[in-house]
Structure 1
């Protein structure tokens, strides 16, 4: 861990020197002091906020993954096999407009939609490697169905393809594969247009918002969020349940972007819009099949409100909101969301000076979503801060005791 901690600082320094950029210029670009940049490069400051990492990467004209050592290479070869699956997915996405190579007759639209529920379950369990393994065949079959179908069935086949691209996009983000992130987003937008589903098109823009964060383009990500909202405004006003879910989901992502842009009032306003949408979802008479795989709920609004305040550096408010949150609604969230939530709480308690509670939350996050948390740069940064704080405290206790015992240094 010491080696890794030094590495992220060295990577910032290496990227800066590659550009011939003085520390003072980098500091000015990210709104910090030269001393802060110096401490980051020496490893004295742990980067545990995604927004700051993205700002540094944008200022250094590199991808955030270049600073965070992603994708991570595991010690066991078996844990790196997901990259083989990623290459297969890329191959399918590259040949999107060619005749699909598929033996036999593709299954019906209804059967393929049912098959996407397996992806939902794996996503909820944060089993991203498993998602990678099954996606190549699913993409191939849905594309083959679109090729041989007409009318509404053809549109639905493209909708299925778009959702599969969304799962590839999410898994690629978690595992750290920038090429797959970009291509999955492009293909999702293409197939969403072919699907004739305006909500699916809004979901494509929602994916692009996430990608814009990598280059700290907060203003553009907010503009794109508003474009997505305009796409589904008519359906939202009419009370379409799928549009209501998408409306709330887009506002949640926009709230995070606003927080990172330093717009606290807008972030709160976006959370308020999402809360309104969640109330409409809760008031729905019958559950709706989540064909866009958004899993939007009032529990999601609660944990995003906490996360937004952490992004703004207000850990005290985040902890207060957590106290007020409804535990049953958070417990009903998928494992991937709950893993993120407890990882956020670990940061909040650490910033509050309570390492014991921070470690407890991080352990819970790992238990709920081990693959997600172990690979997540914020989870890793939080653990490093706990480890080094413990070591520093122990060293200080030993120094004081040595002084009392009059031991020579």
Structure 2
């Protein structure tokens, strides 16, 4: 964390003064106290909740990434993903121009097979590797859509849309707001041409995530409900892909409701996701993950823990964790398990168990190092552990000095 040129509090103060706002102004808009704002600016309070960071950024009219100084800098090798991001942006910007692809593109079936590598990389939270592969894949899918017709053309657009989704996920993980926005827009454009009735709902799932950056929790819920209406018929028929899309939308809605402070709505959405997970498990149809949605009973379980944390119920989060079947959690991809361990680190930290918090954060890093090292909440949690340790040592030294009758 030595690469951070300013603290969050310093960036917050600079943005506040740029708008001519007082600490009391910011406090009133956040429904906090002036003392709380002052402590955040001075670094006495570490922000380790995405909902609070996003709400604060909204009051200051800046992107959350500006507030947390993201993307985080690293070594030359660690920064190479930005080259791939720029190449991906180039392909997305020229979406309606003739593709620059030499030779004949592969068939849609072959492109879907190639996409399996992106699924594996997503599961391992290797977002930089995903961005390395994306430009060529987007270019080839676009070339196929340009030269093919009928169902083959629609499938080419479906590949393009899901490839955009991979770019969207990677951009979120690495902190690239321009790529986040453009990937969602192009996914929507391609989804409408794909012939896949579920893809527009998947794009809305992406957009609801983006609305969290501006703390538009109610809009995220409304968008999710629009998407749910679009897949409800297929869900009622029990179609396996629709069950996964429906459940994923309900989980996103549950988090949106929790961040809005609506515990009743969050619980309602979790129950609906539970029902969808049961239907997925009971179904005889093979799992079709062409939309790259990690949805299962295990994913619902870890979302329950996350929702409890969003509602500041860390003790309940830990109780839910104790009741979760470790095998169910262990079956989840590394990206989800890493995020879950990061949530547990926060829960233990907030309950005063700093050592357990560090253990969970270390486990999260081992499971999904790229994800955790680039995640602002993980970094904030680590800062709280480090500063708490320093404070504890200082207090121990002060007490020992007093016992030895030494001046502090």
Shift of 1:326: 1.2
Q: Is the 8 A contact 2:240 2:288 kept in 1?
A: no
Instruction: Check 1:337–1:275 CA distance in 2 against 1; reply closer, same or farther (3 A cut).
Output: same
2:348 maps to what in 1? Answer: 349
RMSD: 1.0
Separation in 2 of the partners of 1:381 and 1:34? 22
Separation in 2 of the partners of 1:246 and 1:48? 29
1:336 maps to what in 2? Answer: 335
1:65 maps to what in 2? Answer: 65
1:16 maps to what in 2? Answer: 16
SS at match of 1:79: coil
Shift of 1:120: 0.3
2:388 maps to what in 1? Answer: 389
1:138 maps to what in 2? Answer: 137
Show the 5 A alignment for 1:123-134: 123-134=122-133
Separation in 1 of the partners of 2:49 and 2:39? 16
Q: Is the 8 A contact 1:6 1:42 kept in 2?
A: no
2:404 maps to what in 1? Answer: 405
1:174 maps to what in 2? Answer: 173
Shift of 1:286: 3.6
Shift of 1:3: 8.1
Q: Is the 8 A contact 1:307 1:318 kept in 2?
A: yes
Structure 1, unmatched stretches of 5+, are none
2:111 maps to what in 1? Answer: 112
Q: Is the 8 A contact 1:5 1:384 kept in 2?
A: no
Shift of 1:30: 1.1
SS at match of 1:194: coil
2:362 maps to what in 1? Answer: 363
2:219 maps to what in 1? Answer: 220
Moved over 4 A (4+): 1-6
Per-residue CA shift, 1:210-258, capped at 9, x if unaligned? 0000100011100000000001011101111100000000000010000
Q: Is the 8 A contact 2:124 2:334 kept in 1?
A: yes
Residues 1:299 and 2:276 aligned together: no
1:206 maps to what in 2? Answer: 205
Shift of 1:109: 0.8
Show the 5 A alignment for 1:79-94: 79-94=78-93
Per-residue CA shift, 1:316-367, capped at 9, x if unaligned? 1100000111111110000000000000000000001001110110010000
Show the 5 A alignment for 1:120-269: 120-269=119-268
Per-residue CA shift, 1:44-103, capped at 9, x if unaligned? 0000000000000001000000011111111x2111010000000000000001110000
SS at match of 1:278: helix
Instruction: Check 1:129–1:143 CA distance in 2 against 1; reply closer, same or farther (3 A cut).
Output: same
Separation in 2 of the partners of 1:291 and 1:245? 11
Per-residue CA shift, 1:98-143, capped at 9, x if unaligned? 1100000000111000111100000000000000101000000000
Q: Is the 8 A contact 2:247 2:295 kept in 1?
A: yes
Separation in 1 of the partners of 2:407 and 2:389? 24
